[in-house]
């Protein structure tokens, strides 16, 4: 008899919670009423006759403005405390804020990729570190190498059209788009100030309503994956590089090319004579070699450096790396450039333009460059570390791998993770709804 009572109570609980509910979808910073379209189509197929709503909120003016606008939209849509709200990024933060204020328009909510503990990228944006990194990247990878090549006249002269294409395609489109996409996340008003570490958002109270937090991480280089999923590539870039270009692969090949170019230019400088001029061809070749080496160093550190900006990296330490360059011009009896310290030194005819070539120390010039060593990286979705996405007070947490921040509302893995919360075997009875049984 006791077992029958328990069964009936369980059935009653499930039936009482599994009512027809409306799902209200909240977009993130820079989003709009179409941000959740892919999920909307998915959930209508999986849960016939389900009701959903999407609204447009001003997202860059802080959580009070966003939540106030969303309240008006929910009232217009006849929302009740029986309904479910789902928010991506800044939208999820606002659901937690509305929970704290005591909303009557939903009785439980799910957040996806929300920076509940703040976002270090907001700090990096406000203190200028983000802009400095973007500008330095354009200088190190594009501007400085091209200028150094242009200075080597008669030997190397870049095609002006090629230079213009590279500057427009990469600098303007890639880096400016990165600023634009990050601005979508950060906002250009009150929101960015509220998102800082230990700011207003990080200090919101824990959830009081039934809530679920879905955290996401990305595989591979977090920056390149983020840019790919943000769909920032314009038509011109796609026509040049090919549709669906893999940025990680492209960047790796570019870095290899920069490193090889730096080595070739260094070899050319070793085989070139200045004839006494400090600003001669060899000096220009060495400068160009250094600029391409700097570009190589920047490219191979984009992942760790980006993780530093978003708070997913460890401490940075700096080490000194030595570089050696030959500074003596010597030829043998046949006129071939050779080492001034070779075993057949008696056959050398030194050209003492840069000093005598008597010892190795005099012929090799050693310089040092500072190389950053990044600490261990933490998992992130490309913008927010996983730890910062954890929803305080949530009853249940879901963790997904391989999903970057901008892809989350349209990602099938996120869709199925949400669907799992709405079915009969869901961990929280409140989220079970008839349409998904």
pLDDT for the residue 114: 96
Q: Lowest-pLDDT range, 6-15, 334-343, 401-410? A: 6-15
* Per-residue pLDDT reduced to its tens digit, 46-61: 988 899 999 999 888 8
The average pLDDT across 102-118 equals: 96
> 157 pLDDT band (50/70/90 cuts)?
low
DSSP string, 64-123: HHHHHHHHHHHHHTT--TT-EEEEETHHHHHHHHHHHHT-SS-SEEEEES--TT--HHHH
> 131 pLDDT band (50/70/90 cuts)?
confident
- Two tokens, residue 287: 């400068």
* Per-residue pLDDT reduced to its tens digit, 362-390: 555 666 767 777 778 899 999 999 999 99
Taking all residues of the chain, what is their mean pLDDT, rounded to a whole number? 78
Position 245 pLDDT exceeds 90: no
Position 44 pLDDT exceeds 50: yes
The average pLDDT across 164-180 equals: 59
pLDDT for the residue 351: 40
Q: Tell which wins on pLDDT, 346 or 133.
A: 133
Structural domains in the chain, CATH included, are: 11-119+199-218+381-436 (3.40.50.1820), 131-196+232-314 (no CATH), 316-374 (no CATH)
Rounded CA-CA distance 275/252 in Å is 38
> 181 pLDDT band (50/70/90 cuts)?
low
Model-level pTM greater than 0.85? no
Tokens 């009896």, residue? 333
Radius of gyration of the chain (CA): 30
List CB contacts of 433: < 8 A, sequence separation 6 or more: 18, 19, 20, 21, 47, 50, 84, 422
The average pLDDT across 175-201 equals: 74
Instruction: Give start and end residues of each alpha helix (H) in 311-369.
Output: 360-363
Rounded CA-CA distance 362/340 in Å is 10
| Residue 332 dihedral angles phi and psi, to the nearest 5° | -90, -170
């Amino acid at each position: 008899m006791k077992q029958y009572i328990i069964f009936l109570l369980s059935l009653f609980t499930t039936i009482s919670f599994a009512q027809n509910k409306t799902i209200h979808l909240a977009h993130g910073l820079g989003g709009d009423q179409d941000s959740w379209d892919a999920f909307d189509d998915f959930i209508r197929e999986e849960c016939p006759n389900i009701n959903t709503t999407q609204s447009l909120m001003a997202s860059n003016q802080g959580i009070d403005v966003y939540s106030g606008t969303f309240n008006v939209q929910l009232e217009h849509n006849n929302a009740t405390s029986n309904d479910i709200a789902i928010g991506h990024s800044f939208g999820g933060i606002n659901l937690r804020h509305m929970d704290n204020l005591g909303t009557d328009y939903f009785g439980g909510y799910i957040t996806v990729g929300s920076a509940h503990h703040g976002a270090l990228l907001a700090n990096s944006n406000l203190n200028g570190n983000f802009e400095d990194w973007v500008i330095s990247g354009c200088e190190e990878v594009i501007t400085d190498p091209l200028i150094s090549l242009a200075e080597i006249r008669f030997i190397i002269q870049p095609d002006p059209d090629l230079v213009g294409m590279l500057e427009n395609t990469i600098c303007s489109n890639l880096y400016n788009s990165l600023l634009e996409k990050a601005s979508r996340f950060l906002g250009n008003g009150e929101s960015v100030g509220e998102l800082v570490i230990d700011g207003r958002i990080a200090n919101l109270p824990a959830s009081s309503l039934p809530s679920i937090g879905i955290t996401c991480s990305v595989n591979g280089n977090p920056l390149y994956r983020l840019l790919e999923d943000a769909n920032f590539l314009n038509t011109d870039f796609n026509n040049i590089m090919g549709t669906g270009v893999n940025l990680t692969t492209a960047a790796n090949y570019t870095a290899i090319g920069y490193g090889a170019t730096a080595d070739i230019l260094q070899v050319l400088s070793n085989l070139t004579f200045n004839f006494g001029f400090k600003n001669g061809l060899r000096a220009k070749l060495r400068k160009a070699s250094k600029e391409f080496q700097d570009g190589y160093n920047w490219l191979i550190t984009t992942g760790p450096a980006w993780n530093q900006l978003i708070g997913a990296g460890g401490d940075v330490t700096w080490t000194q790396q030595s570089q050696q360059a030959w500074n003596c011009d010597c030829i043998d009896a046949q006129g071939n450039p050779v080492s001034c310290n070779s075993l057949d030194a008696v056959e050398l005819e030194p050209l003492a333009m840069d000093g005598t070539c008597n010892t190795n120390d005099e012929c090799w010039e050693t310089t040092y460059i500072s190389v950053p060593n990044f600490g261990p990286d933490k998992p992130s979705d490309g913008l927010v570390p996983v730890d910062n996405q954890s929803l305080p007070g949530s009853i249940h947490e879901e963790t997904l791998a391989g999903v970057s921040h901008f892809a989350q509302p349209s990602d099938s893995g996120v869709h199925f993770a949400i669907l799992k919360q709405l079915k009969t075997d869901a961990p929280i009875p409140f989220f079970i709804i008839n349409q998904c049984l």
